[in-house]
């Protein structure tokens, strides 16, 4: 039985990362995939109805094949998006993002002290510098901010940062207890009342900002998303690993053909 995949899918190309975020949804486990394998998986997805590839990780910008993969999707008629911590941004990656009209979402979780503490390394200045490079290069760039229970002040900081740095969209992601965050849920987790209060605050801020800033609330507790893991599995991910479902696995190169249907599990 053939499975209908969504138009857009998250596509992990590596589980390696240059940060150690305490709330990471997909912490590093040493897994990565080579260029040929990733190209094959992209071809398979695009042949099965997917039109937009959302590159994620780990940290996708540290994979050496990223520029070629972006160009490959574009050449096949697909669209690219990427979420990155923007700690590293080589010239080949920046050029590829610009040439392929990739939408970039930069993870920035507060001011220098708070952000560096949250990601486990001294990275704030590098991220901000590379965000400015993206904007200067004409790459459509937004900011995503993960907010934890003791850091709701970050919302105001992120709004001011975006308004002051030419960023037109801000996405607020409340902490989720999955990945490394599962072990930090007592530190970072929201009560129901706290989460509701933050969501109400985002709504009020959105109305007050008008068209000055596109402020969004990313509610991953109410929906699940399709994710291609580094080993080729397609998961329907929820707010915790316990709510994930294995949809299937992309066939390896030797077994696949453009018309082959997804192997159900």
Please give the domain boundaries of the chain with CATH numbers for all domains. Answer: 8-260 (3.20.20.70)
Task: Determine the Cα angle at 209 with ends 207 and 213, to 5°.
Answer: 120
Q: Residues 221-238: what's their mean pLDDT?
A: 90
The per-residue pLDDT for 183 is 87
Q: Residues 240-253: what's their mean pLDDT?
A: 89
pLDDT digits (tens, 9 = 90+) for 193-226: 999 999 999 999 999 999 999 999 998 877 889 9
pLDDT digits (tens, 9 = 90+) for 160-201: 999 999 999 999 999 998 888 888 899 999 999 999 999 999
The per-residue pLDDT for 236 is 92
Tokens of 55: 């590159």
Beta bridge partners of 227: 10, 235
Tokens of 154: 């970050």
φ and ψ of 121, to 5 deg: -160, 165
With beta carbons less than 8 A apart as the criterion, state whether 124 and 95 touch: no
Beta bridge partners of 234: 228, 248
| Cα 23 to Cα 148: distance, rounded to the nearest angstrom | 9
Tokens of 186: 């007592």
Q: What does the mean pLDDT of the chain come to?
A: 91
Q: Which residue has the higher pLDDT, 22 or 105?
A: 105
Computed from CA positions of residues 229, 235, 240, 242, in that sequence, does the dihedral angle turn out positive or negative? negative
| Cα 29 to Cα 12: distance, rounded to the nearest angstrom | 13
Q: Taking 60 as the threshold, does the pLDDT of residue 253 lie above it?
A: yes
> 124: closest CA among 113, 133, 135, 136?
113
Question: Which value, in Å, is the radius of gyration of the alpha carbons in the chain?
Answer: 18
Q: Which residue has the higher pLDDT, 258 or 46?
A: 46
Name the residue with tokens 């590379």.
130
By CB atoms closer than 10 A (0-12, 13-18, 19+), residue 150 is: exposed
Q: Taking 90 as the threshold, does the pLDDT of residue 243 lie above it?
A: no
pLDDT digits (tens, 9 = 90+) for 31-78: 889 999 999 999 999 999 999 999 998 999 999 999 999 999 999 999
> Lowest-confidence range among 32-46, 129-143, 145-159, 232-246?
232-246
Give the pTM: 0.91
With beta carbons less than 8 A apart as the criterion, state whether 28 and 15 touch: yes
The per-residue pLDDT for 101 is 97
The per-residue pLDDT for 265 is 40
**Cβ neighbour number for residue 242 with a 10 Å cutoff:** 9
The per-residue pLDDT for 235 is 94
Q: Taking 90 as the threshold, does the pLDDT of residue 263 lie above it?
A: no
Instruction: Please state, for a pLDDT cut of 70, what percent of the chain lies above it.
Output: 95
> 172: closest CA among 110, 217, 238?
217
């Amino acid at each position: 039985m053939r499975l209908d995949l969504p138009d857009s899918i998250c596509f992990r190309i590596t589980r390696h990362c240059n940060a150690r975020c305490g709330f990471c949804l997909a912490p590093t486990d040493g897994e990565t995939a080579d260029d040929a394998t990733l190209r094959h998986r992209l071809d398979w997805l695009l042949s099965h109805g997917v039109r937009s590839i959302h590159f994620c990780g780990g940290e996708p910008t540290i994979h050496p094949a990223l520029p070629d993969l972006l160009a490959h999707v574009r050449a096949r008629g697909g669209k690219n998006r990427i979420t990155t911590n923007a700690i590293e941004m080589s010239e080949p990656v920046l050029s590829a993002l610009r040439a392929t009209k990739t939408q970039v979402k930069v993870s920035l979780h507060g001011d220098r002290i708070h952000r560096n503490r949250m990601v486990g390394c001294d990275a704030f200045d590098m991220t901000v510098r590379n965000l400015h490079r993206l904007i200067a290069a004409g790459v459509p760039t937004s900011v995503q901010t993960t907010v934890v229970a003791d850091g709701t002040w970050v919302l105001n900081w992120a709004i001011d940062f975006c308004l002051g740095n030419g960023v037109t969209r801000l996405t607020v992601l409340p902490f989720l207890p999955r990945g490394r965050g599962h072990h930090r849920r007592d530190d970072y987790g929201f009560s129901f009342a706290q989460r509701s209060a933050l969501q109400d605050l985002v709504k009020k801020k959105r109305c007050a900002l008008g068209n000055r800033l596109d402020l969004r609330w990313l509610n991953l507790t109410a929906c699940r998303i399709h994710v291609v893991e580094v080993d080729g599995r397609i998961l329907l991910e929820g707010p915790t690993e316990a709510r994930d479902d294995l949809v299937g696995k992309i066939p390896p190169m030797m077994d696949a053909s453009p018309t082959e249907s997804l192997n159900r599990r």
